[in-house]
Structure 1
Amino acid sequence: MLHIPDPSTVASPGMQVSAFRVLVVCTGNLYRSPLAECLLRQRLLETRQVIRLSSAGTRAVPGTPMPTTAASFLRERGAAPSGTNSRRLTKELVDDSDLVLGAATEHREAAVRLSPVRALARAFTLCEFARLVRAEDAAGVGDPAARFVSLVRGAAARRGAASAHPGDDDIDDPLGAPPQEMRECLALIEDVVDRIAAAVRTG
């Protein structure tokens, strides 16, 4: 079990956190969640010793490799698609995460159902978290893992005041979609990841 302050705690500028674990969740763990995992890892490469990225799927078939389309999209952006064979979401994975990012509302809710106490304040959709995260919530905090603690705390506090229309925070499953829709979905994930990574990197 983890090792860091609760997100309700304000991170002080000198606070050091040993590690911060982010879990991204979709349905099959084939497109949306592994793509976000790999892109976020690339964007935060300099923090890889303290920020750990992983992904899972609510209905994943364990061991299924990432489809060629998603892998090619990653390679075009200089990101490595290795180590992304699918795995099933479990309570243990949620319990061992400091932030759970679902591709859609159903994935956030699945994490909360598995571990209500652990996930309630730490589970968001990708789009929701990107919409709520503010770099100023971690102003002056240099340690990247400690910054993430403050960013999650700030986003959770802001959630009740910031509204979105139902479904606006969901990223649709591109499985079986025409090529153009597939590329649009992957590009949306990239944009959301960039917004999250920018908040983490801004010291």
Structure 2
Amino acid sequence: MRKFLSMLCISFLSLLLVTACSSSGSTNDSHRIAPASENTANTSTVNTTATASPNNDTLNEQTVNAALKAAEAYKNKEYNVIASEDILSTESLQTRNEEMTPFFTEYFKEKAVDTRYTALPLQIANKQQLSLKPENLQFSVMDHRDTIVDLRYKVDLVLIGPDGKEQNRVPLEGVLTLFDVNGQWLLQGDRFDSAAFQKLIV
């Protein structure tokens, strides 16, 4: 009888131990679920960030492309000049300013007109007695900050005779700074190839 009671107690204790272990296992499992849900949240954040990043890249690419288009339009306009006898007349210079200043910020517009920066290509055409056109225009992004883009450019300034044939080709390079003004990219500065211009004008 005593032996039977001992066996019964051992069985009861074993049953309690197994129940306790199962309960502990369930508790541990429930603790494992919590971190899993945290991991899911973290994964979601990472995915959102990863998704946001390409969107930011896309926005940056769109911004830079818009600045590049503005720079290309500006340089093509600046370096396309048809030679004429009255190219440096008051009327011609006024027309030139009217054509070029829409590309400029208010600050640069005043500076460009005052320093006769807009007339430089006209002076080349007058001195060389040749028309001008740009070829092989290339840009590379030097810096990009929100509303400011710095672009390095290279271009061949082609000088053309009255017969339409190329007389000379001058490689030029410089740096353009463009500002985003109310969604429009405008020129704030042009560190142009002054040495090359000087040789063509003097």
Same fold by TM-score, threshold 0.5 exceeded? no
Greater strand share, structure number:
2
User: Which one scores higher on RCO, CA 8 angstroms, separation ≥ 6?
Assistant: 1
Greater helix share, structure number:
2
TM-score (norm 2): 0.25
TM-score (norm 1): 0.25
Higher-Rg member (1/2): 2
